[in-house]
Amino acid sequence: MSDIEKKWYVVRAISGKEKKVKEFIESEIKARGMQDFVSQVLIPTEKVFQVRNGKKISKERSYLPGYVLIEAALIGEIPHIIKNITNVIGFLGAEKKGDPIPLRLSEVNRILGKVDELAESGEELNIPFVVGENVKVIDGPFNNFSGIIEEINEEKKKLKVTVKIFGRKTPLELGYMQVEKES
């Protein structure tokens, strides 16, 4: 029974409800004994580092918010079951009352490759800042202030940034995770 041809599809979900949708799909498929038709349900996630209270925390967040990938053979009532799951909007690429359009293999490999790449990159955090570059403070008491990088201490992963506060240039020592490049 496992020689059924499966393709990857994108299910549109309400943003922020991807995990729930994944759980609902998996439990629904299990309850109906349709594991032969739906083999994988994935939420593409990436590791994001944040600094909170001086501590670096890694969090996983969906890098395609509102989308859940599903490897399935959409035959019979399976598309109907999936569409009727709570928080599911429908299939990506499907026209009204039309059939869902599967992802191309190249797209699947790119997305899955990105997932693997992000999982492997783990803790390695190398952000190439340049002296004289404009950055925006994204954490701490000077949140949303813009400044210019004066010095970079790669060993400690710290930057000396000059920020204008009340019209006066003030030097701040900030971690790599407390700033982002200004576009």
Q: Which two tokens stand for residue 154?
A: 């790669």
How are beta strands 158-165 and 55-62 bridged, if at all? Answer: unpaired
> Is the CATH number of domain 134-178 1.10.600.10?
no
Q: What per-residue confidence (pLDDT) applies to 158? A: 87
Q: What is the pLDDT of residues 74-90, one digit of tens each?
A: 888 888 899 999 999 98
| DSSP string for residues in 75-124 | -TTHHHHHHTSTTEEEETTPPTTSPPPPPPHHHHHHHHHHHHHHHHHTT-
Q: Where are the alpha helices (DSSP H) in the chain?
A: 18-31, 78-83, 105-121
Per-run averaged pLDDT (10 residues), the chain, 183 residues:
79 92 93 90 81 76 86 90 92 78 85 67 60 89 90 85 90 88 80
Q: What per-residue confidence (pLDDT) applies to 119? A: 60
Q: Fold for 7-121, please state it.
A: Alpha-Beta Plaits (3.30.70)
Q: What per-residue confidence (pLDDT) applies to 1? A: 47
Ranges of each domain in the chain: 7-121, 134-178
Q: What per-residue confidence (pLDDT) applies to 3? A: 67
Q: What per-residue confidence (pLDDT) applies to 50? A: 73
